[in-house]
Structure 1
Amino acid sequence: MSKNKKFSPIILIPIFVAIFVLIVLAVSGHLTRTEDIKEPTAETSVSAVNEQNSEPVSENSDGKVTLCAVGDNLIHNTLIDAGKQEDGSYDYTSLYQNIAPVIQKYDVSVIDQETVLGGSDFEYTGYPVFNSPQEIGDATINAGFDIFNCANNHIMDKGSQGIMNEIEYFKKHKDVVYLGINEDEKSYNTIKYYVKNNITFALLNYTYGTNGIDLPSDKPWIVNMMDKDKVTKDIKEARANADVVIVFPHWGTENSFGISDYQKEYTDLFSKLGVDLVIGCHPHVIEPVKEVTNESGHKMLVYYSLGNFISHQIEIDQLCGGIASVDIEKKNGKITVNGKFIPIVTHYNRTDGDKFRFDVYKLSDYTDELAKSHSQKGGTPEYYNKLVKKVIDEKYLDLS
């Protein structure tokens, strides 16, 4: 199933271009700012997904974009097996087919690709050292995802070759943007911009670490790490060139609903530098959504953790994730960002022998009958409703 919402792909914007668009992100309408038209700095290079040159949109153009993001696409052994066909091929359409209509409603859809798409050059493996079939990528793209966050603690599980295989896979899909991993030093120093509906987005993705696996000495640029100097440089350049700056950090404490000191430290830095939207992953459980205001009055919306999107984790709290549902609007030089949090549930149960079937449901569609058939007991609609209301401020919750 493919997305009926086709967006303008990322464009290659020459460094000498002087004027970029102002954006208004219209979601539920809770962040607003007005600022001067941005001019690109001479040092900034701008990337493209399709290598097509295009004129920048007019700074006077208004626009609206709906954006969604989901958490960890965490492919355990049982999920790998769930897509294996009788002829030995792999097809993962069924994993996402239930939630795909929700994803496809948005102009732009983002997913955290937690496991490396190293492909058949390596054995397909789950925890603790992951390697996923590239057919996982096919299924998520067909489900409607446009942007893949790849900087995470498992990205080095198959070394630099696994990353290069993943990059080569994404390069075959010209309308898809991958973030956080780089094929060379030039890519490392290049900020990715994404233009949709007259709004220019700067997209940045970093990870706190790679599970103790060192980056190769000859490729220290292969993964975007959360280094303050790097982050500061990138955001300053992005802020000078984009209407909206979004950071996707892989951060936080696993299985904690609270915000860590590390997250607070980087939140302060992001806010100080003028980031508009932060959408985090890694803890495998949901964390709060908050609005942060810096000294100049600039407001930033932060989703600290969306939890898991799909996985075979076994604690019921790990099976409740979220969709960040964000409206962005640009109108008369004013930028508005509004966000909601839509709770989701990963459902799985055994089918034939050792095989499992996996689905993702909006919590509002999850029933007591489904909960009774789940392999992990206790994750009832009542339980999850209490959980999300405890963690997420009611003003951000969308339980419809």
Structure 2
Amino acid sequence: MNKKIIFAWIPVICLFALILYFKNDPVVHPLKETATKAETTEKEVTTSITGDLLFEGPLYEWMDNYQFGNYFDQVKPYLKGDLIIGNQEVLVGGDELGISGWGYSFNAPYSIGEQLPSLGFNVLTLANNHENDRGLEGITNTRQLFDKMNMFTSGMYLSQEERNQTPVIEKNGVRFGVLAYTYSTNTYVGSDYDYAVPYFLDENLQFTQEYKDILKRDVEAAKQVSDVVIVAMHWGTEFTYELTYTQQAATEYLNELGVDLIIGNHSHCLQPMEYLTSSTGHQTFVIYSLGNFVSADVVVDRSNELFKNMYQVGGIVNLTICHDTATKETTIKNVALTPFVNQYENEYQNFRLIPFNQYNETLASQHYRRQYSDLFTYEVIKEQIEQLYDESIMIN
């Protein structure tokens, strides 16, 4: 046979042999990826929480035309995440109702409320003992301002119809029902607008069945329209780390109702945090108090020396709320506390909030409070903070 013909057939024969080989050996076939990564059903919402925004007279006097200036600059980096929650303890009723930061009757100019979004706040709880300091007009002015700003609020209502509904805010596909209550108000709420202020105690400051039923109704309604239920409670006794009976009773009751996060305030000092587990296994994270976020009082009457000093110390909590859309379970994790000192010097000058991880004894010695107490020191403050929290809380 012609050699040229033989060589011409060699590629054809080789190709045919390869086809037969691969046909009978499936191992060499290209692998197809049949397993795909399962879509996660857990959604995370990062959250920052502060204590009371209590704007007092000396702070107004230091401000330039009621502007914050650099007061919040050093703590602002900690106000981060999807939800940033604060308790606005002062009405923002405007000049026409009289600006006051004295005498336990408070009202702020509109500019105070208008600046809060610049700090990051997108949720304000408004239920507190100063809520009725300017009557219905103060409530109306405050709510109308925040509504105009599209600021989400809870705990101050303009009608009975509104009181009967759950305020809901959505972040990252998770719906949050936010409820807020106060133990009482400093002035009597008229019967013609008693819908405006939500209480959790009766007029004798007792946690009665009537008020348990109110909480149960509200929480069950919140569960119908939200994935996660947060309750803010203005409660307890001022100037103490000790929890009252009503704090503990209300906490246990809310835990049994299935509330996910409780944010307490009113004590004007830091208080403990803890996880509670109900009889059905539901876990609630409780922040009893984060002290003051904003304040300005060097004397602090009605208190002893220790808590006059700790009145100057507040906290910011950063945490992650995880909600599983499949199991409907919610967990709170990555809890970190950043304590800070409300620093101001002689005669209420140079106000600024300083994270405690940036604080030192030199700054403590310059604080106006040091003129009233030799115990206002870096080491004493550090000891007080550390004794309040167990290993489940990361202290920054």
1:369 counterpart letter in structure 2: T
Question: In structure 2, what is the equivalent of residue 224 of structure 1?
Answer: 198
Q: CA deviation at 1:390?
A: 1.2
Q: CA deviation at 1:355?
A: 5.4
Contact 2:229–2:259 under 8 Å retained in 1? yes
Q: 1:355 to 1:368 in 2, by over 3 A?
A: closer
CA deviations 1:163-200 (Å, max 9, x no partner) are 111011101111x2111001111111110111101111
Contact 1:80–1:132 under 8 Å retained in 2? no
Q: Map 1:218-367 onto structure 2 (within 5 A).
A: 218-226=192-200, 227-314=211-298, 315-331=308-324, 332-333=326-327, 334-338=329-333, 339-350=335-346, 356-367=349-360
CA deviations 1:257-278 (Å, max 9, x no partner) are 0111010110111011000110
> CA–CA distance in 1 between the matches of 2:81 and 2:309?
28
CA deviations 1:98-117 (Å, max 9, x no partner) are 211221x2221011111111
Contact 1:290–1:301 under 8 Å retained in 2? yes
CA deviations 1:273-296 (Å, max 9, x no partner) are 000110100010111111111100
1:244 counterpart letter in structure 2: V
1:337 counterpart letter in structure 2: I
> CA–CA distance in 1 between the matches of 2:101 and 2:266?
17
Contact 1:80–1:133 under 8 Å retained in 2? no
Gaps of 5+ in 1: 1-58
Q: Map 1:46-61 onto structure 2 (within 5 A).
A: none
Could you tell me the TM-score, scaled by structure 2's length? 0.80
Question: In structure 2, what is the equivalent of residue 145 of structure 1?
Answer: 121
1:72 counterpart letter in structure 2: D
2:332 counterpart letter in structure 1: V
Work out which structure has the larger RCO, using CA pairs closer than 8 Å and 6 or more positions apart in sequence: 1
Could you tell me the TM-score, scaled by structure 1's length? 0.79
1:336 counterpart letter in structure 2: T
Partner-residue secondary structure (3-state), 2:214: helix
1:386 counterpart letter in structure 2: E
The equivalent position to 1:69 in structure 2, one of 28, 49, 53, is 49
Question: In structure 1, what is the equivalent of residue 133 of structure 2?
Answer: 157
Q: CA deviation at 1:322?
A: 1.4
2:50 counterpart letter in structure 1: V
> CA–CA distance in 1 between the matches of 2:353 and 2:310?
15
Contact 1:92–1:135 under 8 Å retained in 2? no
The equivalent position to 1:394 in structure 2, one of 368, 391, 395, is 391
The equivalent position to 2:66 in structure 1, one of 90, 99, 108, is 90
Cα RMSD, aligned residues only: 1.7
Contact 2:348–2:368 under 8 Å retained in 1? no
Number of residues of Structure 1 aligned to a counterpart in Structure 2: 331
> CA–CA distance in 2 between the matches of 1:381 and 1:258?
23
Partner-residue secondary structure (3-state), 2:381: helix
Partner-residue secondary structure (3-state), 2:67: coil
Percent of counterpart pairs with the same letter? 31
Q: CA deviation at 1:238?
A: 1.2
Please tell me whether residue 368 in structure 1 is matched to residue 361 in structure 2.
yes
> CA–CA distance in 1 between the matches of 2:53 and 2:154?
15
Partner-residue secondary structure (3-state), 2:193: coil
> CA–CA distance in 1 between the matches of 2:343 and 2:133?
27
The equivalent position to 2:59 in structure 1, one of 72, 79, 95, is 79
Please tell me whether residue 199 in structure 1 is matched to residue 196 in structure 2.
no
CA deviations 1:124-179 (Å, max 9, x no partner) are 111321111121112222111111111100111111111111011101111x2111
Gaps of 5+ in 2: 1-38, 201-210, 299-307
2:262 counterpart letter in structure 1: V
Partner-residue secondary structure (3-state), 2:269: coil
1:239 counterpart letter in structure 2: K
> CA–CA distance in 2 between the matches of 1:209 and 1:368?
39
Partner-residue secondary structure (3-state), 1:357: strand
Question: In structure 2, what is the equivalent of residue 102 of structure 1?
Answer: 78
Q: 1:341 to 1:355 in 2, by over 3 A?
A: closer
Partner-residue secondary structure (3-state), 1:130: strand
Q: Greater CA radius of gyration, 1 or 2?
A: 2
Partner-residue secondary structure (3-state), 1:95: coil
Tell me which protein shows more helix as a share of its residues.
2
Partner-residue secondary structure (3-state), 2:70: helix
> CA–CA distance in 1 between the matches of 2:107 and 2:349?
19
Q: CA deviation at 1:340?
A: 2.8
